[in-house]
Structure 1
Amino acid sequence: MTSDAPPSGRFEGSEHRFPVRVYFEDTDLSGVVYHANYLRYMERARSDMLRVAGIDQRAAFEGGQGVYAVRDVALRFAAPARLDDDLVVVSRLTAARPAACVIQQRVMKGDAMLVDASVEAVFVTPAGRPRRQPPQWLDIFTRLLSKGN
């Protein structure tokens, strides 16, 4: 029996792996993935990573606790992806502070790295002020960081 659920990633040790396929809408006139779409792939992968790890971002938002806002992104492009390519976004938590976390992400095509990124996300109140992340989230981050050692 097949499932109509959207794709979900999985953890392998400390790394979260999220599958992505390149569709026509992702490409530019030259037939390669438009640079900004890699950010979309990485956002989906980060959101999925948090969900799979047990972090309920929607409940935090709806409960008025807050949301993540990207504070800093550093990208390095190494090679292009093209229409119909099967990619994997590999994400790994590299730091967790009381109000922020840093996630290193790579967009891979097989063994080839196409894009490498470091993303800092800050937890903010509904008014946009930084605030401490929920303690149970920091516990999850601590466990993820310990798997990477």
Structure 2
Amino acid sequence: MPLADPLPAPASGRFIAAVHHFPLRIYFEDTDLSGLVYHANYLRYMERARSDMLRVAGIDQRANHEGGEGVYAVTDLKLAYRRPARLDDDLMVVSQVMEVRAASCAIQQRVMRGEDILTDGVITVAYLTPRGRPQRQPRPWIEIFSRLMRGEDIHP
């Protein structure tokens, strides 16, 4: 018997004025004994949001990896924890491309609860060969990042 309503899909973000917005909710497993989100989980949220941002932008990391062409790896990370998140909070990870180079890019990410910035960071990723050496990013990817950095919306 067919369902009247389609099944829900996994959370996905979207671009608004060239800035990626990724929604998430805090669950019990995200918290520590104090009832606050464990500090390392903010990095997980940012990672999910960056992966989603690339997917929504039309960058197929999986195909590139499986084709033996290369992968991204975090090379630098600067974080500031400002306020804690708690059980059942609805959060938004906001990601914006800040810098694009031949083999890397820097993305500013903020974990937000409404207008409040909970965690603010800049994550730099390098594009690596399968053997772990830096290499130029695919030209179409550089073009996507450059358009986002200039504030241009993308439509993959």
Question: Where on the TM-score scale, by shorter chain, does this alignment land: which range?
Answer: over 0.9
Task: List aligned pairs for 1:93-112, cutoff 5 A.
Answer: 93-112=97-116
Shift of 1:3: 3.5
Residue 38 of structure 1 aligns with an amino acid whose one-letter code is: Y
**Paired position in structure 1 for 2:49:** 45
Residue 41 of structure 1 aligns with an amino acid whose one-letter code is: Y
Task: List aligned pairs for 1:7-26, cutoff 5 A.
Answer: 7-26=11-30
Residue 42 of structure 1 aligns with an amino acid whose one-letter code is: M
Shift of 1:147: 1.2
Residue 141 of structure 2 aligns with an amino acid whose one-letter code is: W
**Paired position in structure 1 for 2:139:** 135
Q: Over residues 70-98 of structure 1, what are the superposed CA-to-partner deviations in whole Å (9 max), with x where a residue is unaligned?
A: 00110000100000100000000000100
Q: Give, in whole Å, the separation in 1 of the partners of 2:147 and 2:19.
A: 12
- Unmatched tracts of structure 2, length 5 or more: none
How many residue pairs are counted as aligned between the two chains?
148
Alignment RMSD: 0.9
Residue 95 of structure 1 aligns with an amino acid whose one-letter code is: E
SS in 2 for 1:8: coil
Shift of 1:4: 2.9
- Report the identity percentage: 62
- Unmatched tracts of structure 1, length 5 or more: none
Q: Give, in whole Å, the separation in 2 of the partners of 1:146 and 1:104.
A: 14
**Paired position in structure 2 for 1:120:** 124
Shift of 1:58: 0.3
Runs of 4+ in 1 over 3 A off after TM superposition: none
Shift of 1:141: 0.9
Q: Give, in whole Å, the separation in 2 of the partners of 1:22 and 1:72.
A: 26
Q: Over residues 76-130 of structure 1, what are the superposed CA-to-partner deviations in whole Å (9 max), with x where a residue is unaligned?
A: 0010000010000000000010000000000000011000000000000111000
Q: TM-score, normalised by structure 2?
A: 0.93
Q: Give, in whole Å, the separation in 1 of the partners of 2:61 and 2:14.
A: 18
> Larger radius of gyration, structure 1 or 2?
2
Q: TM-score, normalised by structure 1?
A: 0.97
